[in-house]
Chains A and B, each alone.
Chain A
Amino acid sequence: MVYIKILFQYILVFFVILIINFALPRIAPGDPAIYLVGDDIQYMSEEERLQVLKEFKLDLPVMQQFKNYITGIFKKDLGVSIIYGRPVWDILRDRLPWTFLIMGVAMLFSASIGIILGVIGAWKRGGRRDIGSLVIVMTLGSVPPFWVAMLLITLFSAKLHWFPSFGAYAIGAIPGTFAYFVSVLQRIILPVLTLTLVKTGAMFLTARSSMVIAMEEDYVMLAHAKGLKEKTVIFRHALRNAVLPIYTNIMMGLGAMVGGAAIIETVFSYPGLGNTIYESVTARDYSLLQGSFLVVSISILFFNFIADLGYPLLDPRVRKQTVGR
């Protein structure tokens, strides 16, 4: 029952995303052909232009186009990229794992560091260490991520030559070998470090403020009255309840990072989804742009969906109510 409702909502949102994705190039000002062949349009004759439109079935009625578009998506047909000359779907399939890799690792770090610091901060709040970590974390959170990335490259790549600042693996390394693994590891350190530095702040603040709220609840006071140790109360009662907003934040962060990593990937020339978006923008490769946008949207939707499925596990109040009122 609860799940059906959630599923229904997601299907709705998915549909809206499809419509937006379909509509964007069509409602944009100017010639739709420009979105297909890029700036080369100016060298084309009128006939050639119409030919292009026909080729991409853009001369059909809008509803027919939309139908084609939808069926295309379910056939994994997102068009052909101009810069790569390959199907958009293949390109995205190659790149998505890299984004998930740096994103997942960075999330793991920032969430664990943020939560630990946040819980301690809330517990010892008002203390010198709490204020100190607040200031540090908020400062890091205010720094533009791409700038951090640039500085890290300056320091670790240009000056110290510790880590390469380009690509996801060494050129020529064979997947599966140890050398390949090391080269991958070397190249994710800086992006992950950047993301962790920048993203920990939000995690910390969420964890801290939800702990502050939870620690003032009546049940925490009763837990003390039971004679539990301070630590037990904090972790088993306060944190157990503060987990809910923290969890929401992590899941939303995961979704946002798929898109948010765009700039970081660009700076590190990392072959992920975000970089693909950037490339397609600079090269005016509209089918690639449309496709990446769609994939990013769907990943966000996917993480939100997972988050929603997880709620009933964490919070009995959301579970299907079978007993009582």
Chain B
Amino acid sequence: MKILNLNKSEHRFRLVGILLVSFFLVTSVFAPVIAPYDPYERVGTPFERPCLEHILGCNDVGHDLFSELIYGGRVSLFIGLFASFYSTLVSSLLALAAGYYGGRTDRLIMRTVDVVMSLPFLPLVIVLGVFLGPGISTQIIVITTVMWAHPCRELRSQVMKIRESGYIDAARSMGERSIVTVFRHVLPELMPLIVPQFVRVVQQAIMIESSLSFLGLGDPVLKSWGSILFFANTRAAFLTGAWVNWVLPPGLCIAMTVLGFSFIGFSLGGRIGLSYYPFGSFILKRKKTSNDAPADDVRLSVNELVTVYNPVLNQCVAVNDVCFDVKKGEMLGLVGESGCGKSTIAMSVLGMLRYPAEISQGVIILDGKDLLSFSRQNFAKIRGRRIAYIPQNAMNALNPVVSIKKQLIEAVLTHQTISRAAAVERVREVLEMVEIPEDRINAFNHELSGGMKQRVVIAMALVNNPDFLIADEPTTGLDVLVQQEIVRLLVRLKQQLGLSILFITHDLPLVMTYSDKMAVMYQGEIVDSGSVDEVYYNSTHVHTKALFSSFPCLFEQKRWKRDAFLQEGQASLVLENVTKSFYSKRGLFAKGLKPVYAVKDVSLSVMPGEVVGLIGGSGSGKSTIARLVMGLETQDEGKIFINGLELAGKSRRMKQEILRDIHLVFQDPYQSMRSHMKIFDIVAEPLRIHGTRGRAEIDARVRNALREVSLPCDDGFLLRHPSELSGGQRQRLSFARAIVINPKFIIADEPTSMLDVSLRSGLLELMEKLRSDHGVGFVFITHDLALARHFCDRLLVLNDGSIIEQGESDDVVFSPVENYTKRLISAVEEPDLMKSSRALSV
């Protein structure tokens, strides 16, 4: 990474800042060499005007002002740098303690911060200065005392954020000591944030120092820029002609030094932000393409569309020569993996691409009108009126501080000139259509559940009766059952209102079940399209075929069938009546609040080498069980045994020993390892924690583990960082980290859910290989029932924190007893034709 890249304005700010600061630093350090006189010696006549011997003249007692100026920087910078060093040190340590340990430590520190911050800053400095007596050390102490609080608060919130990261959980679940975790993982991540804080404190400290000296409260013997001004002020220099040589220079010096530091701080804080380009600011360099008017029943026709992102040099083609038509009342499913250009198509059609995006070819025709010939203003008139958009991630799609009613009314009134009352009427109508209860109309975003937010967003899209709807991954992040409801709602609305829908998703079964036509996208191109049947039977592209075969159907023959399991010997993991509750809010008066049970009276046992699936929707307590087992949370009641040993109440060393046999693999491979660590260190971490010291041994075992998960293990690879790896490779890496200490079993918390579909079966193959080669047992946590049935020997179904049903995988799936299980099974989208064709092949 280049430290200075002058093309970026951040870096230009930084360069100027560094130059300014180093200029003053150098002159201060070499003051005895540069200054022509000793500033404490009487070398001229009092009030001497500037002349050749005394460039800036002399002060009231005949000290050379230029020499004073150069020496003055010493004091100002010395105090500034030291005071900020100490206060940054104090604030970082306290922030680490407060943010990492939380609880009482946190409250104590934060209350102190509150108090310090509500003390008047400058008066406090003055008062302390007076009571402690003047002097350079007083100044440093005083500035430190008042300055630490603000950075401490900011750093603490960062520490808390870091603490929530997967890699901290990973380190803890491997049994790492907390103090080591703080310094090995938290501090390095915090460092980039500490530096700008330090710089910011320096600039304030210099300012305070000069203010104090200016008030005559500095060290009376030393000369700083502030005290030069103090004398100038008391001699009323600014009322005479002397202000040019006496008042101006020291102030400029302070200003330039502080400016230097604030430039550096500003550029480090990254607060400039990338240049803003409004939506719709794409460049249109359209090549003429075929002008065939689309058929009458075609609502939207996209022809030979090419969209490129063109950052100055490396141009990247996001959408390449894409053609598709969507007829009236038809739903086109666009399937593809992350980064294949699906969303770029949506943005192109909506006219919401932003510079540096460029449409270099193609036509987009909506109801006979060429959209690309529209101006930005005219495009905005169509957007939301004729073409509506349902965005990815509805969680943050609604403005949090405006009620949904107002947001919906706004959408109506933007496009229609009707009375407010009529608009409200329309809003009610549309909310009813998406099944939002009447009384929630005044609700705010945070008062709605995920599914409701999605419904409101759909309502917002429909409120102006559009003809064409673009739904970009509208169900991602929602619970399986909710997902089904939302898609069914869309289908119902399509039929009811005669909508045309472009349904963008990565979820193949969803598309196959609900859409009329489908198109498969791969690396910017549509590789297969047509009706669902056509694509399924006549797919030509390798990727499409891979997609179809990558996920198992729920009811087809079990993919991983293992030999009948011998249920004997000691269970690897036993949970006995474990309960864990969280209080929704902990506060002064919150004691009486009802606890929310995350896990309620759960008992289970896992035999060595067994593969057990934990199934449940979001919030069912699956992950909490994993965290309880790993000691990341402590249960309220019940017992957890790992290989017959209980974790609770053991010493740290014993816990480490117990945790050696068990490893947790996290859902998010991007979070669960720190991007700045080398691959070698990541894999070696469990070994190091568990006391392996020999370099050669670690090296051998790391390479071995990498080989096991089919990653390269050459020296070059070991020195790379995980940020250079793809999601699939990263998840393999987490398995390498798991098996390097030969655990007895691995808890895999949704290990495939963040991966593209085509990578999932590969990862499951890997898990199976580890099982058969090393006899590793798995607790497989997932919301994907089909995957679980095929991979696991036994299934446990969780709902609201309790196990409601369990048994052999096939028994649970084929003859479910509980209602909830039945609902889960029916929510698995099984395209009929796939079911039949697979059944044939069996």
Residue A215 interfacial (CB < 8 Å): yes
Residue A131 interfacial (CB < 8 Å): yes
Residue A191 interfacial (CB < 8 Å): no
Residue B400 interfacial (CB < 8 Å): yes
Also in contact, A241 and B352, with CB within 8 A (given A141-B262, A209-B271) = no
Say whether B273 contacts A212, CB under 8 Å. Answer: yes
CB proximity to B under 8 Å, residues A80-131: 122-127, 131
Residue A160 interfacial (CB < 8 Å): no
Say whether A138 contacts B259, CB under 8 Å. Answer: yes
Say whether A218 contacts B119, CB under 8 Å. Answer: no
Say whether B121 contacts A226, CB under 8 Å. Answer: no
Residue B133 interfacial (CB < 8 Å): yes
Q: CA A240 – CA B446 in complex, angstroms?
A: 16
Say whether B216 contacts A316, CB under 8 Å. Answer: no
Q: Give per-residue flags for A187-213: 1 if the beta carbon is below 8 A from chain B beta carbons, else 0.
A: 000000000000000000100110010
Say whether A225 contacts B383, CB under 8 Å. Answer: yes
CB proximity to A under 8 Å, residues B76-114: 111, 114
Say whether A260 contacts B127, CB under 8 Å. Answer: no
On chain A, the residues within 8 Å of B280 by CB distance are 224
Say whether A325 contacts B447, CB under 8 Å. Answer: yes
Also in contact, A123 and B276, with CB within 8 A (given A138-B259, A323-B443) = yes
Say whether A266 contacts B215, CB under 8 Å. Answer: yes
On chain B, the residues within 8 Å of A8 by CB distance are 588
On chain A, the residues within 8 Å of B414 by CB distance are 226-229, 232
On chain B, the residues within 8 Å of A217 by CB distance are 396
User: Chain A contact residues (Cβ within 8 angstroms of B): what range?
Assistant: 35 or more
Taking chain B's interface residues, is the majority helix, strand, or loop, or is none over half, making it mixed?
A: helix
Residue A304 interfacial (CB < 8 Å): yes
Chain A nearest CB, measured from B209 CB (Å) = 10
Residue A49 interfacial (CB < 8 Å): no
Q: CA A143 – CA B229 in complex, angstroms?
A: 13
Q: CA A259 – CA B215 in complex, angstroms?
A: 14
On chain B, the residues within 8 Å of A147 by CB distance are 229, 247, 250-251, 254-255
Residue B549 interfacial (CB < 8 Å): no
Of all chain B residues, the one with the shortest Cβ separation from A9 is B114
Which of A127, A244, A258, A317 is close to B275, meaning CB atoms less than 8 Å apart?
Answer: A127
On chain A, the residues within 8 Å of B118 by CB distance are 13, 17, 255, 297, 300-301, 304
On chain B, the residues within 8 Å of A127 by CB distance are 275
Residue A262 interfacial (CB < 8 Å): yes
Say whether A259 contacts B122, CB under 8 Å. Answer: yes
Say whether B352 contacts A225, CB under 8 Å. Answer: yes
On chain A, the residues within 8 Å of B611 by CB distance are none
Q: CA A134 – CA B414 in complex, angstroms?
A: 34
Chain B nearest CB, measured from A165 CB (Å) = 9
Which of B255, B262, B589 is close to A144, meaning CB atoms less than 8 Å apart?
Answer: B255
Residue B180 interfacial (CB < 8 Å): no
Also in contact, A146 and B211, with CB within 8 A (given A8-B588, A225-B384) = yes
CB proximity to B under 8 Å, residues A39-70: none
On chain A, the residues within 8 Å of B443 by CB distance are 323-324
Also in contact, A144 and B123, with CB within 8 A (given A131-B9, A212-B273) = no
On chain A, the residues within 8 Å of B191 by CB distance are none
CB proximity to B under 8 Å, residues A222-274: 222-230, 232, 236-237, 240-241, 244, 255-256, 258-260, 262-263, 266-267, 274
CB proximity to B under 8 Å, residues A130-178: 131, 134, 138-139, 141-148, 150-151, 153-154, 158
CB proximity to A under 8 Å, residues B237-282: 238-239, 243, 247-248, 250-251, 254-256, 258-259, 262-263, 266, 271-276, 278-280
Interface residues of A (CB under 8 A from B): 1, 4-5, 8-9, 12-13, 16-17, 20, 24-25, 27-29, 122-127, 131, 134, 138-139, 141-148, 150-151, 153-154, 158, 205, 208-209, 212, 215, 217-219, 221-230, 232, 236-237, 240-241, 244, 255-256, 258-260, 262-263, 266-267, 274, 277-278, 281-282, 284, 289, 292-293, 296-297, 300-301, 304, 314-317, 321, 323-325
Q: List 12 A-B contacts (CB under 8 A).
A: A20-B119, A154-B247, A218-B393, A224-B279, A225-B350, A229-B380, A230-B278, A259-B122, A259-B123, A281-B215, A293-B120, A297-B123
Interface residues of B (CB under 8 A from A): 9, 111, 114-115, 118-124, 126-128, 130-133, 203, 207, 210-211, 214-217, 226, 229, 232-233, 238-239, 243, 247-248, 250-251, 254-256, 258-259, 262-263, 266, 271-276, 278-280, 350, 352, 380-385, 388-389, 391, 393, 395-403, 410-411, 414-415, 439-440, 443-444, 446-449, 457, 460, 587-589
- 5 further A-B contacts with Cβ under 8 Å, apart from A126-B273, A293-B123, A324-B443, are A146-B229, A148-B251, A151-B243, A262-B126, A323-B439
